Chain A
Amino acid sequence: MRLKGRVIVEGSVEGEVLFTDYPITFYGGVDMKTGRIIQTDHPLRGEIISGKILVFPYGVGSTVGSYVIYGLKKYGKAPKAMILREIDTVVATGAVLAGIPTVDKIDIEKLRNAKRVKIKDGVVEVLE
C-alpha cells in the first residue's frame, strides 16, 4: 500500500512504526532525554519513540513542544520520522528545527496495523 502526503521535512527513511490515534503533547508529555512518552493519559505511556517512525494525528499543547522535539534530536532520542494526519505549528516548528523527516495529510487509520514503512518524497509505503 502507498499513501501520498505532504512533505513537511524531506528525507528518505525506512523503519519500524509506532502508531497512536491519540494526539501527542510534547511539552510535559515526552521526556527529551530518554524519548519516553510520560503523558499520564496517553495510551502509549511508557513507550520509547526514539528511532521509530512515529504515526500520530497531530500535536497539542504548549508551543514549547517545538523545543522538546529539537531536544530529542540533540540527545539522540528523536523519532526517525513523523507521519501525521494534519500537522500543527508546534510539531511543524519542532520538525524543521530538528530536521526530522516529516509527512502530513496521511490517512493514518490505514497505518494502524503496519509494522514497517518507507517514506520517500511524501509517499508512505507499507512494507509489512
Chain B
Amino acid sequence: MYLTREEERMLDGEYGEGVRKFMELLVKLGDIYGAERMIPVGSAQIAGISYKNIGDPGLEFLEEVSTDARVRVPSFMNPAGMDLDRWKELGIPEDFAEKQKRVVEALKRMGVVPTLTCTPYLAGLLPRFGEHIAWAESSAVIYANSILGARTNREGGPSALAAAVTGRTPYYGLHLDENRQPTIGFDIKAPISGEYGFSVLAYTITKKVKKGIPYFRGIRGSADELKVFGATLAAFGGIALFHAEGITPERVEPPREFIEIDKEELKEVKEEIREEYRDVDVVVLGCPHASIPQLKRLKELLGDRVFRVPVWVFVAYPIKEALERSGLKDELEERNVKILSDMCAVVAPLDVLGIKTAVTNSGKMFRYLPATNGVKTYLDSLEHIVEVLAE
C-alpha cells in the first residue's frame, strides 16, 4: 500500500510505540481489503467500551496503549455498561463499576471524549456530507452514511481507535463511490410512522436483503424515526448504508427493479412478532439514544399517568443535561421514567440485576436484548406501551 511520508513516520515508530502499532494494524487491514492508500478521517467513534463486552482482555489492552497513544481527530466513545452517575441506584455491582470506570479513564487519557453514546451526531459530533470518518457503532455508521452522507465502513473497536490515533483509515469499502451504489430497490406502498412502524419495516426488509445496499422509494420520516429504521436494518441485516429518495443527500442511479412492500405484508409481519404482555420487569426506550423531541412526545403521551413498571430511557449525556435544565427530567422521573446516560441495556449486566422481561419500541433492542442478556423482549409501539403499562 502507498503511504505518505507522515504515515511512514508513524509506522517507523517516530510517534511512539502506540501509534506504530495502530498504524501497523491499519496497513495490515488495508492490505487484507485491497486498499491502495490511506485516507484522512474527520472523526472517530469507538466501540467496545462496555466492560461486560470487552472484559479484562480489553481493559488491559486499553490501559496499556493509553500510556503513550493520543488521538489526532475528534473521537467519541460508544455506550458503556452503566450510567456513570447513577450506577448504584440501578444495582450495578461495585467491581463491575470499578472496571467500567477504568475503561473510560484509559480512553480519556488518550483524548477520547466520554460522551458514551451511540448517537454522537446528537451529542456534538456532526460529520458533513462527503466527509470520511471511522465510526464503529452500527446504528451510527448507517445514520452517518445514509442520512448525513458521510462515509464510513463499520469499524471494530481497535480499528476505530487506530483511526483516532493516526487520523487515517484504509481507503476501501464504503469510502469509495463504486461500493456505495444500491444493490436492490424497495417501493414502500404503505404509510410508515413511529419508532415501532419503522422497526417493523426494517425487519421486513432484512428478511429480503442482508449485507446489501437497499434503495427506498416512498419513505418519509423524522430524523428520529430514520435513526431507529437504520439501527434495525443494521441489527437484523448487517446493512451499513441505504439510499432513500428525498432523504439521502448522495445522488445515485436508482436500481431498475423494485420490490413492493404493502400494508398487508407489514400487517402480517406485525402479527408474526406480536405477543401479549401484561407486566414486564422494565420498559427500555432510547435505542438508539433518544433525542429531546422523543422525550417530549413521551411526556405528552403520558399526560398525568404514571408507569406501573420502571421505564429506562437512554440518552447521551448532553441530552440528559438539557432535560434536567428544562425540568422535563423531573416531570418524567415523577412518572417512574428514569433518564439514564452513558449506557445501553444491550451492553449492561442485566443478568445480575435480575431483569428477565422487557418491552421496547426499537427493533434493534428487540434483536439484541434476548441475545446478549437472555431477556424475553417484546416489541410494541410507544402508544400501546403507555396504554398497557401506565395508569
A, B co-complexed:
yes
Interface residues of A (CB under 8 A from B): 8-9, 32, 62-64, 66-68, 70-71, 74, 87, 89-90, 92-93, 96-97
A32, A66, A71, A87: the one within 8 Å of B156 (CB) = A66
Residues of A contacting B156 in the complex (Cβ-Cβ under 8 angstroms): 63, 66, 89-90, 93
Q: Is the CB of B57 within 8 A of A97?
A: no
Q: Is the CB of B60 within 8 A of A74?
A: yes
Please encode chain B, from 58 to 72, with 1 for each CB lying within 8 Å of some chain A CB and 0 for all others. 101100100000000
Q: Is the CB of B24 within 8 A of A71?
A: no
Interface of B is mostly: helix
Residues of A contacting B54 in the complex (Cβ-Cβ under 8 angstroms): 64, 67
> Which residue on B lies nearest to A74, using beta carbons?
B60
A9, A67, A87: the one within 8 Å of B58 (CB) = A67
The verdict on A96 contacting B24 (CB below 8 Å), with A32-B57, A74-B60 known, is yes
> Which residue on A lies nearest to B64, using beta carbons?
A74
Stretch at the interface among B25-33, B75-83, B110-118, B330-338: B25-33
Give the number of chain B interface residues (Cβ < 8 Å): 21
**B56 contacts the other chain (CB 8 A):** yes
> Which residue on B lies nearest to A67, using beta carbons?
B57
Q: Is the CB of A64 within 8 A of B159?
A: no
B25, B47, B57, B64: the one within 8 Å of A96 (CB) = B25
B25, B29, B61, B158: the one within 8 Å of A71 (CB) = B61
B29, B47, B53, B60: the one within 8 Å of A93 (CB) = B29
- What are 7 sample pairs from A and B whose C-beta atoms fall under 8 A apart? A63-B156, A67-B55, A67-B157, A71-B61, A89-B29, A93-B159, A96-B28
> Which residue on A lies nearest to B27, using beta carbons?
A96
The verdict on A64 contacting B25 (CB below 8 Å), with A87-B32, A92-B32 known, is no
Q: Given A64-B58, A64-B157, A67-B58, list of 9 further CB < 8 A pairs?
A: A63-B47, A64-B54, A66-B158, A67-B61, A74-B64, A93-B25, A96-B24, A96-B25, A97-B158
The verdict on A62 contacting B28 (CB below 8 Å), with A67-B61, A90-B156, A97-B158 known, is no
**B363 contacts the other chain (CB 8 A):** no
Q: In the complex, what distance in Å separates the CA atom of A35 from the CA atom of B53?
A: 20
B28, B47, B56, B157: the one within 8 Å of A92 (CB) = B28
The verdict on A93 contacting B158 (CB below 8 Å), with A62-B53, A71-B56 known, is yes
> Which residue on A lies nearest to B24, using beta carbons?
A96
A63, A67, A74, A97: the one within 8 Å of B21 (CB) = A97
Q: Is the CB of B28 within 8 A of A64?
A: no
